[in-house]
Amino acid sequence: MDATSEAYSGSKKVFDEESTEIPETAHQISTDSWFQVGFVLTTGINSAYVLGYSGNVMIPLGWTGGVIGLIIATVMSLFANALIAKLHEYGGVRHIRYRDLAGFIYGKKAYSLTWGLQYVNLFMINTGYIILAGQALKAAYVLFRDDHTMKLPHFIAISGFVCAIFAIGIPHLSALKIWLGFSTVFSLMYIVIAFVLSLKDGLQAPARSYDIPGTPISRIFTTIGAAASLVFAFNTGMLPEIQATVRKPVVDNMMKALYFQFTAGVVPLYAVCFIGYWAYGNNTSSYLLNNVNGPVWVKAMANVAAFLQTVIALHIFASPMYEYLDTKFGIKGSPLKIQNLTFRITVRGGYLAINTLLSALLPFLGDFMSLTGAISTFPLTFILANHMYLVAKKEKLTSAQKCWHWLNVGFFALMAVAAFVSSLRLIAVDSKTYHVFADL
């Protein structure tokens, strides 16, 4: 065990029956089946974000680019996540946090940089979730009362409050259990309703345009932004934290969960993404349920389901922050202890209050997906994954394999820079169109 591994394994060393070092954590590890972990992963990719891909991905890319792009993003995301999963027990240490793995391989500076990238990534995903939850609530509200008394910032505030209540009640990621079942039901509700109503509208609608809109220059930027949204769709940016919950053998079980995610798990996403674009063409909105026509009660049920599923999905992406704070401040024992309950109310409530404020201030959902993909999902999921695997397995890789990984590092580095510039442009354009606390 070298000094680097000691520095990034936690303050207290624990060894399992196979003499693998496990860092100290206040949350549970090695308790969940691969099937439960698979549902955690599919909960993320089939969250209500899928209702935006028809508009945010397919319109800028068109049929050819959209279909090919989704397939490539699926394959490359599985490949990159598999690389991270295979490094989970590298060097005789169980790396239960992304930053621990980067620190073990590279050192202190990489530990800090990875930590920063990851928490920017997760913070912005959570901000987007609260925006999405607010949009779902507003969409349900206007079905019955389109009087503009309640505006989007009000619904975002309600969403943030409900997310905070849920975060206080669920102490750690493994405790989701039955909630993952509810999440699946909610996902199927809004996906099936969106699919069926879009199919009905598409069969009855006149011819619609699938031409990619905009000037040649604007198309370049929107295409890059859509590419960032593609990688955002399939990646969590917290795979080691999720893998920490799976039972031994951790690599084999995590690979089963990943195969489940990228086979059965992507079918709903593909279905709703393609049917929405087919039905409405260039008029597809960034929230598909705003396009569909059907019974009011059915549309209301879909929007409420989207809201509830978003609350559960947000908790997954906030879990690394909760784990860090709970571990740092020694929050152990019964979740119902007054000390632990007070801590979660104060700390988690405060964290989500900041998310909620930013969500209400700048409710541009598509921009959040693009910017998040640019500044953190590309580096974490693709650049770091390939380079860490290169460093860790350099003695075992052939020259061709090394060239392949270096090609990935270079390509995704360029994509990250391009996506960052594109997303800043999108935000600048939207900032001129919408004011702060806009009622979109």
DSSP string for residues in 177-224: THHHHHHHHHHHHHHHHHHHHHHHHHHHS-----PPPS-HHHHHHHHH
Render 14-79 in DSSP notation, one character per residue. Answer: EE-TT--EE---SS--S-B-HHHHHHHHHHHHTSGGGGGHIIIIIHHHHHHHHHHHHHHHHHHHHH
Question: Quick one: which of 271, 132, 65, 170 has its CA closest to 57?
Answer: 65
Identify whether 131 is part of a domain.
yes
Q: Which range marks the domain in which residue 266 is found? A: 34-433
pLDDT for 190 equals 96
Which two structure tokens, joined as six digits, stand for 197? 């109503």
Say if 201 falls within a structural domain: yes
402 belongs to a structural domain: yes
Residue 25 lies in a domain: no
Element (H, E) at 425: helix 399-433
Residue 155 lies in a domain: yes
Q: pLDDT by residue for the chain (440 residues), tens digit each?
A: 444 444 454 445 555 555 567 778 877 888 899 999 999 999 888 999 899 999 989 999 999 999 999 999 999 999 999 999 999 999 888 999 999 999 999 998 889 989 888 888 888 889 889 999 999 999 999 999 878 789 999 999 999 999 999 999 999 888 898 999 999 999 999 999 999 999 999 999 889 999 999 888 888 888 888 888 888 788 878 899 999 999 999 999 999 999 999 999 999 999 999 999 999 999 999 889 999 999 999 999 999 999 999 999 999 999 999 999 898 888 887 888 888 899 999 999 999 999 999 888 877 655 666 677 677 778 888 999 999 999 999 889 999 999 999 999 999 999 889 888 887 887 777 777 766 676 76
As for how many domains the chain has, the answer is: 1
CA angle 310, 316, 322 (to 5 degrees): 125
CA–CA distance, 344 with 339 (Å, rounded to integer): 9
Q: Tell me, what's the pLDDT at 364?
A: 66
In a domain, residue 24? The reply is: no
Is residue 307 within 8 A of residue 171, CB to CB? The reply is no
- With helix as H, strand as E and coil as C, how does 254-293 read? HHHHHHHHCCHHHHHHHHHHHHHHHHHHHHCCCCHHHCCC
The whole-number pLDDT of residue 419 equals 84
Q: What CA–CA distance (Å, rounded) separates 133 from 375?
A: 23
**If residue 350 lies in a helix (H) or strand (E), which one and from where to where?**
helix 338-361
Instruction: Give the domain CATH number at 295.
Output: 1.20.1740.10
In a domain? residue 20: no
Does 320 fall in a domain? yes
